[in-house]
Every structure is written in structure tokens, then in C-alpha cells.
Amino acid sequence: MSTLEGTVVMITGGGTGIGAATARLYASSGARVVVTGRRRDPLEKVAAETGGLAVVSDVSEREQAEAAVATTLAEYGRLDVAVANAGGQGLSSVTDTDDDEWAFALQSNLTTAFVFARAAVPALLESRGQIVIVSSLAGLFAGPNLAGYTVGKHALIGLTRTLARDYGPQGVRANAVCPGWVHTPMADDEMAKLAELGGLTDPGDGYQMATAEVPLRRAAEPEEIATIIRFLGSPDSSYMTGSVLVADGGAHVVDLPTLAFERAANSE
């Protein structure tokens, strides 16, 4: 594993979950970390833990994204890795999604990453740096009643590839990671709903239900996804760009049409 001493990393959605775990991992590797998001308290907590910088910002807004990058450059003089991690929203079917919900889902999952990347690219061209975009397994497949989320996460892969295509000749790499279920505050809320639908009361039961057919039979910890982000956003992945790494415990290898046969065999 290469040293990241002196590397400057900026992480959106850096106050909780995968973003916070990524900040801690980079900091432990010697990097200088900037965490940004809309909620001050969790950002400042992560910044205090990592010796980093907290920047309260809605990076889906061009002026705020550019200001956040400018603050990073003013504090540290460079930007080497931009991690577009913020996202969420869009949890309904097409016919149940009104125009405002659709716009908000795309803003949360796609526009935020696009605007942040656009603001970060000039600095990354100077450092010949890296962009890591956190998509989702929903960027490759479709779950039920997740229209805005699924479309936004699919589009993030397109954004990753176009960044890789356009800026690779100047030395900037862009890669994506697609996590499956991860123990995060957002997933906790979904697992609580799932457990309730199943007549259970413990949110942990929701995770068990959601990963029952996943080969590893569990959700990931945020730190496990952070190691993949750190790999993509470091010299260790120096000949990778436009790539999409799936981290889902093996969920994508399951042949769904054969599950009925497995269940039938196990019930005998």
C-alpha cells in the first residue's frame, strides 16, 4: 500500500457512514482530509477525529462547490483526490414520483457529483489527481420502487466514464465503486422499515432479511467500502480509470431465477 503523506483528499457526504469512514482511513494513511456536507456537527466531529477540515456546503450548488474547493486550496494548496460520496433520495416508483421528488432525487444522486467534479477538475489537472464516485449496486440493477435513486446511480457510472475519457489524457483518473447494503444511517432507516414489513422489531433483522441470498450473508461495514475508495483514490490503482468496482458481498453473482429451486431443495 502506497504512502499518502501530504495527499489532500476532499470527501462529500463526509460526516457519516462511508464518507466518515473514508476520511478516517485516508487520515490514518497520512493524507490531509477535507470533509464537506450540509450538517455542521457531524462534519466537525469527523474533522476533529482526523485532524482535517470541515466545510459546510451544499455542493449541488455551483457557487458553494467552487467555494468549498477554493477553501481546500487556500488551506492546503492543492487537491489530489475528490471523493463524490453524497447521495440518497428517490425511493418511489415512476408513477408515484412527482416532479419535485424527481428533481430532488437527481439533484441528490447525480447533480451533486457532477457539480462537485466540475469544481474539482481544474485543481485535479494541476495535481494529476483522482476522482472516486460512490454509486451503488442500484447503479447496475433496479430494485423495487427506487426510480429516482436507480436512475441517478446508473447515471453516476456514465459520469465516471465520461470524466475518465475526457481527462485521462491530462493525467486525471476517475473510477467508481458500487456498494451493496452497508451499515449506514440511511440503510438503518430502510432496514427498520423492512423489519417492520416482515413483522419484526429489530432493525438488525432487516439486514438479515436483505442479505439472506447474498453469498457472504451480511451487509458491509463502512470501513470495508472505504478501503476500496482509498485504493481507487491512490497510486495503487495507477492504471485504472473508467472502472467500476462492485462491493456487494457477491449479490450480483446470484442467479435470481434459480432461487426457487434452491429454496425448494432446502425445504425437503
Catalytic annotation, residues: 149
Distance CA 218, CA 214 (A): 7
User: Please, are residues 245 and 176 in contact by the beta-carbon 8 Å criterion?
Assistant: yes
> DSSP code of 24?
H
- Cell 413483522 locates to 199
Terminal Cα distance for the chain, rounded:
49
User: Please, are residues 175 and 232 in contact by the beta-carbon 8 Å criterion?
Assistant: yes
* SS3 at position 178: strand
* SS3 at position 29: coil
